[in-house]
Amino acid sequence: MKAELVSFIIDMAFLLSASGFFVCLKLLSSPKTARRGNFIGAGAMLLATITTFAMERPSALLPIFLAIFLGSLVGVVSAKRVQMTAMPQMIAIFNGFGGLASVLVAIAEVVRLYFVHVNNPSVLFSVTAWFSVAVGAITFTGSTVAYLKLQEIMPTRPILVRGTRIVTIGLTLATFFALYLLLVDPKDMLVFFGLCVVASVLGILLVIPIGGADMPVVISLLNSYSGLAALAVGFVVKSNILIISGALVGASGVILTRLMCQAMNRSLMHVVFGAFGGVELSLAAGEEKPMREYSPMDAAMLLKNASKVIIVPGYGLAVSQAQRNLRELADELKANGVHVSYAIHPVAGRMPGHMNVLLAEADVPYNELFDLDEINGEFETADVAVVIGANDVVNPSARTDKSSPLYGMPILNADKAKAVIVLKRGRGRGFAGVENPLFTLDKTGVVYGDAKQSLVKTILAMKEL
Amino acid sequence: MDSEGVMSEFSLANLSICIYVLVLASFIGFEVISKVPTMLHTPLMSGSNAISGIILLGAIVVSVGQISIVGDVVAYIAIFFATINVVGGFVVTDRMLSMFRMKKSGAK
C-alpha cells in the first residue's frame, strides 16, 4: 500500500513537470511572457530530475553528481560565452549531444541486459532500442557536421561526391537489416555496435551534401530527430515524461522544418537529396546590367528626405557585426522624424528567427520588427527600402521569372519601394548564385563596402547634412 | 517503472497507454507550438532542444542496476552529455530572451 502511494506521488510529480513543459512552450508565444516560460521549463526539468532520483534511488550518487556537475559546467560556460551570430552552431551541437546521450542510454540498457540474465527482452524493446540508437547516432554526427559547417571549419558549400547517394541507400538498408537481426536476437551487442557505426556514417553523409543556405532546414530537422530519439528511449525505459517531451520537441522540429522549407520554396526531399546552388547552376547568365553606385552621402541625402523607411537586414549584416550601427542609423532617422520599420524574412539568418535575436541583441525594440506577411504591403508606400547584406530574399525574379531557381519563393517586395538603397560587400551573387534584377533597377543605388563601414559613413554624412 | 526486469514484462496494456500519451502529446504540441511567432523561433528551438535533454532521466534510470563497469561508464557519459544539452539549452534561451525588449531601454 505504501509503495503504491509513493509510486502515485512520483507519477504525479512527472505529470506536473510534463505540464510545465507545455506551459513553457505556451508562454513562448509572446515575447512578454517567453522568459518566464523558459524558467518554468527549466524548473519542470529540475523537478523531473529530482523525481527520477526519488524513484530510482541510485546507490552510487557520487559519479552521477559528478557527471551532472561537469555537464552543467560545460553547458553554462558555453551558453554564456557564445556569440549570438554563432547561435545556430551552438544549438546544433547541444542537439547533437542530446542525440549522443540517446545512443548511450540505449547501449547502456543493452549492456545491462547482457550482464543481467533477464528472460528474453520483448520485440518492443528491440524496435525502440534500435530506433533510439539509429536516430540518436544520425542526430549526433549530423549535428556535428552542421556545427563544423556553420563554424566554417568545414566548407559551407555543398560537398558532392559521386556515388554518395548509392552509399546512403546502402547504409539505410543496412540499418534495417540490423533491426531484423535484433528482432532475432535482441541481446546481440555486436549488431548494436555495428548499427552505431552505420548510423553515424549515415548522419555524416546526409548533412555533408547540404549547403550553407539550407542550414536552417537541417537544424530544424535534426532538432526534431533528437525529440524522436528521446521519445524512443521513453518506450525503452517505459517513461511517459520522456514520451511527452520527445513528442513536443518532435512537433516543434517538424513545424519549423516545414516553415523553413516554405520560406525557401524547397521541398524537404529537395533539401535532403539535392544540393542547392551546386556546380551545375550555370553562372553564365549573359548580359550584366551595370549597377548604379551610391556614395554614403547620396544614401544619407535620400534617407534624410524620406518620411518612411523600411530596412531589410540579411545575414551579411551579421557577418560584419553591424547590428548596432544599423540601430544607430535607425535612431538617427527617427530623430529626423522618419518612420522606420524592419522587414525580417524567415530565412534572414542561419536558423529560424535568427535575425530577430541578432537585432534584439543590438537593442532594436521587437515591435519595430515585422515578418513577411505583415510588411509586404507596406513597401508600396515606403520612400526608401534599405537592403543590407541581403540578396536572395529580395530577388524579384522569385515572383516573375519562371526559369529562376528561386521562382515561387516568398520574398520581401523591396522593389516596390519608391527608391532602394543596397549595402553590399562585393559584386557577387547570393547563396543561390542567381542574378538579382533588384540591384540593376533604375531606382536602386548600391553602396559598396563592408556593411559596418558603409553604415558608419552614412550616419556621419547624415549628421553633416 | 520498477527497475527490476524493466524490459521483460512489457505488456500490451502498457504499450497502449504509452501510445495514448504519445498521440495526445503530439496533438497538443502541434497546437501550442504553431502559435509561437516567427520572431521567437530561435528561442523556441533552443528551448525545445533543452527539453529534448529529458533523455537525462533515461540516463539516470539506466545507470541504476548496471552490474558492469562498462555499463556504468556508458551511463555516466550519457548523463554528462544530456546535462550539457539541458543546462546549456535553458541558459542560452534565457540569455536570448532577456534581450527582447519592447521599448528602447535608454541605457547603453
Same domain, A414 and A267: no
Same domain, A363 and A220: no
User: What pLDDT is recorded for position B74?
Assistant: 94
Best residue of A93, A244, A368, A412 to probe chain B, by most B CBs closer than 10 Å = A244
* Integer Cα distance of A173 and A179 in angstroms: 10
Contact A71/B at CB under 8 A: yes
Same domain, A388 and A305: yes
Q: How many domains does chain A have?
A: 2
Domain boundary among A238, A273, A308: A273
Contacts of residue A35 in chain B, CB cutoff 8 Å? 94, 97-98, 100
Judge: B94–A91 Cβ closer than 8 Å, yes or no: no
Contact B10/A at CB under 8 A: yes
Judge: A38–B44 Cβ closer than 8 Å, yes or no: no
User: What pLDDT is recorded for position A276?
Assistant: 44
Domain boundary among A273, A307, A325: A273
Higher pLDDT, A394 or A213: A394
CATH number of the domain at A450, please.
Answer: 3.40.50.1220
Asked if residue A52 is part of any domain, the answer here is no
Q: Is the CB of residue A253 less than 8 Å from the CB of residue A224?
A: yes
Asked if residue A114 is part of any domain, the answer here is yes
CA distance B16 to chain A (A): 11
- Taken as a whole, chain B contains a residue count of 108
C-alpha grid cell, residue A263: 520560406
* Integer Cα distance of A327 and A332 in angstroms: 9
pLDDT (tens digit per residue) in A100-157 = 999 999 999 888 888 876 666 778 888 888 999 999 999 999 999 999 988 888 877 7
Amino acid at B74: V
Asked if residue A47 is part of any domain, the answer here is no
* Owning domain of residue A316: 296-464
The set of residues, in sequence order, having a beta carbon less than 8 Å from that of B4 and lying 6+ positions away, is: B65
Single out the residue of A417, A462, A411, A426 nearest to residue A444, CA to CA: A417
User: What pLDDT is recorded for position B3?
Assistant: 41
The proportion of chain A whose per-residue pLDDT surpasses 90, expressed as a percent, equals 42
ipTM for the whole complex: 0.87
Single out the residue of A200, A179, A249 nearest to residue B55, CA to CA: A249
Give the mean model confidence (pLDDT) for residues A382-401. 88
CB pairs < 8 Å spanning A and B: 389
For residue A382, pLDDT beyond 80? yes
Judge: B54–A94 Cβ closer than 8 Å, yes or no: no
Asked if residue A315 is part of any domain, the answer here is yes
Contact B37/A at CB under 8 A: yes
Q: What is the DSSP letter of A296?
A: H
Same domain, A437 and A314: yes
CA A275 to chain centre: 18
Q: Residue written as cell 523537478?
A: A47
3-state secondary structure A98-138: HHHHHHHHHHHHHHHHHHCCCCCCCHHHHHHHHHHHHHHHH
Same domain, A109 and A250: yes
For residue B7, pLDDT beyond 60? no
Higher pLDDT, A160 or A312: A312
Same domain, A99 and A174: yes
Q: Residue written as cell 528551438?
A: B45
* Integer Cα distance of B91 and B71 in angstroms: 30
Higher pLDDT, A80 or B18: A80
Three-class secondary structure of residue A311 per DSSP: strand
Single out the residue of A412, A433, A402 nearest to residue A212, CA to CA: A433
User: What pLDDT is recorded for position A403?
Assistant: 80
Best residue of B84, B91, B95, B98 to probe chain A, by most A CBs closer than 10 Å = B84
Judge: B28–A90 Cβ closer than 8 Å, yes or no: no
Q: What is the DSSP letter of A347?
A: T
Domain boundary among A258, A273, A288: A273
Higher pLDDT, A56 or A286: A56
Same domain, A249 and A318: no
pLDDT (tens digit per residue) in A269-297 = 777 665 444 434 444 444 566 788 889 88
Same domain, A99 and A150: yes
Judge: A246–B92 Cβ closer than 8 Å, yes or no: no
Asked if residue A345 is part of any domain, the answer here is yes
For residue A396, pLDDT beyond 50? yes
User: What pLDDT is recorded for position B103?
Assistant: 64
Q: A188 catalytic, yes or no? A: no
Same domain, A310 and A441: yes
User: What pLDDT is recorded for position B66?
Assistant: 84
Q: E strands along A314-434, which residues?
A: 339-344, 369-371, 384-388, 419-424
pLDDT (tens digit per residue) in B78-106 = 999 999 999 999 999 999 999 988 765 44
Asked if residue A314 is part of any domain, the answer here is yes
φ, ψ for residue B5 (rounded to 5)?
60, 40
Same domain, A310 and A387: yes
User: What pLDDT is recorded for position B5?
Assistant: 42
The set of residues, in sequence order, having a beta carbon less than 8 Å from that of A163 and lying 6+ positions away, is: none
Same domain, A436 and A330: yes
pLDDT (tens digit per residue) in A417-458 = 999 999 988 766 665 667 788 888 888 889 988 888 899 999
Same domain, A259 and A197: yes
* Integer Cα distance of A157 and A149 in angstroms: 8
For residue B36, pLDDT beyond 60? yes
* Integer Cα distance of A306 and A255 in angstroms: 39
C-alpha grid cell, residue A318: 551579421
Contacts of residue A246 in chain B, CB cutoff 8 Å? 52, 54
- Judged by average pLDDT, the poorest of A207-216, A249-258, A364-373 is A207-216
